[in-house]
Structure formats: C-alpha cells, structure tokens
Amino acid sequence: MNRYKIRLELGKNCDFPEGDSQCGYEFEAPLTAAGKLDAVAWLRDPDGFPVERFWRNEPSLFGRLKLTLFGTWRFHYSDLCIPDDVAFQFNRKSFLHDEYVSVRDHADEMQVFHIASVARLEAPVQGEA
C-alpha cells in the first residue's frame, strides 16, 4: 500500500485573502500511483488513517478518514459530538502538491484548501507502483 501524509491549508477567501497555514487538516491516506484516494487499500484498514483538524485559536480535533457506502470521503470525529467534515469529490481528485480541494466543515461551510504537502510514509510493497 502507498500510504501518504497530506497537509491541507486554508485557501484564499473573503476572511483570509492570503489563505492561512494555521487552519487546515493533516491526514494519512492510501493513494494510487495517480495520486487518487485508493478505496480498496482503505478497506484493508478502515480505521488506520488518522486525521487532525487544526484551526487558529481552537483546539485540534482528531479523527479518522472514512469512506461511506455512497463513496463519499469524510473526516470523522468518532469521540466527539460534532458532525463529520465532508470532503467534496475527493474520489475524483488527485492529491498533488499545489492543487486545491474543498471540504464542507462541521459548521456546514464549504472551504477551499491548498494541498501544501504530500509525503510518502512508507515504501511501496514490491509489485505495487
């Protein structure tokens, strides 16, 4: 499996015209050779992909990357009484440095995030790309 650590930082918006590197997510995910989320690899270890939501002047939230039966990816905070943060079309996105993705946060606001980094955490298993 190709496991990566991905850092998303808040993109430019009305409240943050330059974006904000102190607001975002850092999570582990299985990616294909094309940089797309690998649902088959995720199914082998569905609780094995941690997420940290960090936000300026707020305590971090910790959870897991989850895939719903409908193919929607989420950041799930199981021990907290807050809704999941829903990833917008993560199943179609390639997680490449300097690209952008969107997440609907638990306050039901759609936010755009810059992919600040994508780092491999382990070498691929022989026979995998």
Digit-coded pLDDT (tens) for 14-67: 888 999 999 999 999 999 999 999 999 999 999 999 999 999 999 999 999 999
Largest CA distance in the chain: 47
What integer pLDDT is reported at residue 128 of this predicted model? 54
The ranges assigned to domains in the chain are 3-120
- Do the beta carbons of residue 4 and residue 95 sit within 8 Å? yes
CA distances to 23, 24, 68, 69, 122 from 75, in Å:
15, 12, 11, 15, 22
Cα–Cα distance between 84 and 95 in angstroms, integer? 20
More confident residue, 109 or 5: 5
Taking the mean position of all CA atoms in its chain, how far away is CA 44? 18
pLDDT digits (tens, 9 = 90+) for 58-76: 999 999 999 988 889 999 9
Burial class for 24, CB neighbours closer than 10 Å (0-12, 13-18, 19+): buried
Average pLDDT, the chain: 90
Confidence of residue 82 (pLDDT cuts 50, 70, 90): confident
Cα–Cα distance between 125 and 127 in angstroms, integer? 6
Average pLDDT of the segment spanning 123-129: 56
